[in-house]
Structure formats: C-alpha cells, structure tokens
Amino acid sequence: MKTFLRALWRGLLVILCGVFLGVFIFAGYQLYNTFYGYHAAAKEYDNLNQQFVSAQPTPEATPTPTVEVVEETPPVVSGPISVDFNSLLSQNSQVVGWIYSPDTVISYPVLKGGDNEYYLHHTLNGTENASGSIFMDAVCEPDLSGDNTILYGHHMNNGSMFASLANYKQEGYLEQHPVLYYYTPDQVYMLQVFACFVTGGDSDVYAFNFATRDQFQEFINRMYSRSNFDSGVQVTSSDHIMTLSTCSYEYDDARYVVLCKIVPM
C-alpha cells in the first residue's frame, strides 16, 4: 500500500511539474511576443520619422536695418517639423495626416480606413501589431471640415502611441504642453488643448457633427464643464475641434480624451 501511495505521489508531482513548466513556458512566450511587438512597432515608427519627417530650422534673428526698407510679407509658419507627404503617401494612400506633440513620443502618421477596426491592430505598413496606428474615425472628414474630428490611439504600457496623453491628468503638464500640431498634405494646424477628462467608450464626446450651431455650442460648453482644468482657450461654435482618445483604467471601458481647438497656421 505504501509503495502504491509513494508511486501515486511521485506521479502527481511529475504532472504538477509538467503543468507548472507549461505555464512558465506559455507566460514566457507571451512576454516575448509583447516585448517583440513593442520593439517592432517602435522600430517601424522610428524609421518613418527618419524617412519622412525633418525638423524645421529655427529662424535666425535679423539685424536691425540701418536704412529704411520695405517690409516683406512674413513667411508662412509651418510648425516645428515638416512632413514629406508625397513619399509617405506612396507607402500607404490611407495616410491623412501626421500628429506631433513637442517633447513627447507623439510623432506619428494618422491613418483613415474604411472602419475603426483595421488600424487598431495594424501599422502603416500593414503589419499586424498590438500597437496599431493612430487613426481617424471612419465617419470623420480627412480635411477636418467636420465639427469634431476624432483620432484614436492605444495607451501602450511602454509609453508609446497615445499613452502620454494621460499626463494631462497631472498638474502643470498643460502649461508645459499647451499645443500639439497636426499636418496634412495641404495645411499645418495648431491644436490648442482646451479640455481633458475621463469618459466612457459610449460618451457623447464622440459626436462629430451637429445639426445647428446652438447644438454644437451646447456640446462645447459641456466639454468645458467636464474638464479637469480651465485652459483659458476660447472655443465657439464657429470653430472646429479635434478629440484625441485613448484607453484609461479608472473603470471598464474608460477613455481619456484631450479636446483641442483646431487653428490653421
């Protein structure tokens, strides 16, 4: 009897060791896939920045003229970077813009597909990756002519994509990052942050067009009332806005949104 129990106990130990080893191998495989995905996405987006984005030179101070001169037309302000859209569009014709936030990791192409699913899990080059892409809601107009243009991006654990938007929850971050920039093939826009808050995935913040200007103004007023801070940026129903949306973790299906006034440069 003792021999039987001893053999049974050894058998159970072998089975348990096998189970634990299997769990360990599976967890290691999942961890490897996660970090490999982070690395692959970071490498692809770094390459895109190197290929298609360049910093704009800082204008040099002009010496005060000693004689009267005719004042020239001021140059067109083009923001802190420039984007080679001709080459970028040859890589993927569904590129509609580029979003850039100074002194953060946000410097990404913006895609617009036929639905809101594909670019959740695919990069610009069509590679399947958990980081996905920054993408525009399929119902929005790529020329930003709608009342509210909506962009989505993942909140990745390594801080990439739209994860840094959550920093607007911190006191003082807005003062350091009051604007982002949005580039299209035809125009550069300054995005002036005017409201930020946590909301649900089914929130009315994702409304994109309004039947009347009064309805749009009521919407803007609601966004102000929900904001974590008073930005001082004035937005009216004659303006266009952009909502940047990413996941948040206060509750199930929570989102963190950063609303911006779109200002052509």
- Label each residue of the chain as H, E or C: CHHHHHHHHHHHHHHHHHHHHHHHHHHHHHHHHHHHHHHHHHHHHHHHHHHHEEECCCCCCCCCCCCCCCCCCCCCCCCCEEECHHHHHHHCCCEEEEEECCCCCCEEEEECCCCCCHHHCECCCCCECCCCCEEECCCCCCCCCCCEEEEECCECCCCCECHHHHHHHCCCHHHHCCEEEEECCCCEEEEEEEEEEEEECCCHHHCCCCCCHHHHHHHHHHHHHHCCCCCCCCCCCCCCEEEEEEECCCCCCEEEEEEEEEEEC
Q: Higher confidence at residue 110 or residue 27?
A: 110
**194-239 per-position pLDDT tens digit:** 999 999 999 999 999 999 999 999 999 999 999 999 999 999 999 9
Quote the radius of gyration of the chain (alpha carbons, Å): 25
Phi/psi class of residue 203: alpha, beta or left (left: φ > 0; alpha: ψ in -120 to 50)? beta
How far the first Cα of the chain sits from its last, in Å, is: 88
Asked if residue 21 has pLDDT above 70, the reply is no
Q: How many CA atoms lie within 13 A of 211 on its CB side?
A: 0
- Percent of the chain clearing pLDDT 90 (strictly above): 74
Strands 107-111 and 134-136, sheet pairing: parallel
Query: How far is it, in rounded angstroms, from Cα 146 to Cα 58?
Result: 33
Query: How far is it, in rounded angstroms, from Cα 22 to Cα 14?
Result: 12
Q: Hey, what CATH topology would domain 80-264 get?
A: Sortase; Chain: A; (2.40.260)
Mean pLDDT over residues 79-108, rounded? 96
pTM of the model: 0.81
Please tell me the predicted confidence (pLDDT) of residue 86. Answer: 95
The mean pLDDT of the chain is: 86
**130-170 per-position pLDDT tens digit:** 999 999 999 999 999 999 999 999 999 999 999 999 999 99
Phi/psi class of residue 102: alpha, beta or left (left: φ > 0; alpha: ψ in -120 to 50)? beta
Indicate the domain borders of the chain. Answer: 80-264
